Amino acid sequence: MTDYFDMTGKVVLVTGGSRGLGYEMAKAFAACGADVIVASRKLEPCEAVAEEIRAMGRRALPVACHVGQWDAIPALVEAAYDTFGKVDVLVNNAGIAPTAPKSSDVTEELFDKTVGVNFKGPFRLSALVGDRMFEAGSGAIINVSSMAAVHPSATYPVYAGAKAALNIMTQAHAMEFGPRVRVNAIMCGPFWTDIAKSWREQADANSPAAMKRIGRPEEIATTALYLASDRSSFTTGAIIRLDGCVP
């Protein structure tokens, strides 16, 4: 895998990179030779992941950034470019899925926070980094979406709407930044992560998917590496399902 998806000399920025799927992708990129910017709301977990990456012989930059805050995004971008001089791959992975008993119980604060992290942040970060990638002549943006975008539930209408918007944004940015920059999305089903620890065992045992289980974090790595690498040179605007075939 490390030879086929060689990322030597590449710089990868991963939001939500301190845990869950983001953590798995950050490690995978480093294992394939990339230097990694690990961004999340809290600095300490980012620093811990950065230390792991440095122990693998790669450079790493931990950055605290709340991607749901519009004005916080430029500082993250500047930190990345000041340190490495470029970003070859942007992974918009940070996401939250708060719920409320019913739509009338959703507060404006909850609505804005959900849309902010899942859609506004990726939009702003992609806009700033995408422009620079285009000027540099190449780049890849990967948005981590959710099957909720196409299988909505009464439990999380705001989250589902934000992820559906992220899918459309993926295709819009593929057209805006093409042909120099490729923009794709990974539309995930449920995964066995620490974030899902309250429900993952039950979901795993009772999964209706064709694979009869939920995903394992490492299973997102090869999809991300494919979309980030030149092996996917004719793939852009794609929304790749990573759900074990959920009916």
Domains of the chain and CATH, by start? 11-242 (3.40.50.720)
Is 159 part of the annotated catalytic residue set? yes
Average pLDDT, the chain: 94
CA pair distance 130, 10, nearest whole angstrom: 16
Mean pLDDT of 91-98: 95
Identified catalytic residue from 4, 23, 81, 159: 159
Decide if pLDDT at 129 tops 70: yes
Of 205, 171, 176, give the one whose Cα is nearest residue 190: 205
Any bridge partners for residue 64, and if so which?
40
98: left (phi over 0), alpha (psi -120 to 50) or beta: beta
Query: Quick one: pLDDT band at residue 203, thresholds 50, 70, 90?
Result: confident
Mean predicted confidence (pLDDT) in 175-197: 90
From the centroid of its chain, how far is CA 89?
A: 11
Residues 14 and 91: beta-carbon distance below 8 Å: yes
Whether residue 189 is predicted with pLDDT greater than 90 in this model: the reply is no
pLDDT at 14 exceeding the cut of 80: yes
pTM of the model: 0.95
84 Cβ contact partners less than 8 Å away, ≥ 6 residues apart: 11, 35, 37, 59, 61
DSSP string, the chain: -TTTT--TT-EEEEETTTSHHHHHHHHHHHHTT-EEEEEES-HHHHHHHHHHHHHTT--EEEEE--TTSGGGHHHHHHHHHHHHS--SEEEE--------SSGGG--HHHHHHHHIIIIIHHHHHHHHHHHHHHHHT-EEEEEEEEGGGTS--TT-HHHHHHHHHHHHHHHHHHHHHTTTEEEEEEEE--B--GGGTTTHHHHHHT--STTSSPBPGGGGHHHHHHHHSGGGTT--S-EEEESS---
In this prediction, residue 2 has a pLDDT band, given cuts at 50, 70 and 90, of low
- The Cα–Cα gap between 161 and 233 comes to 29
pLDDT at 74: 98
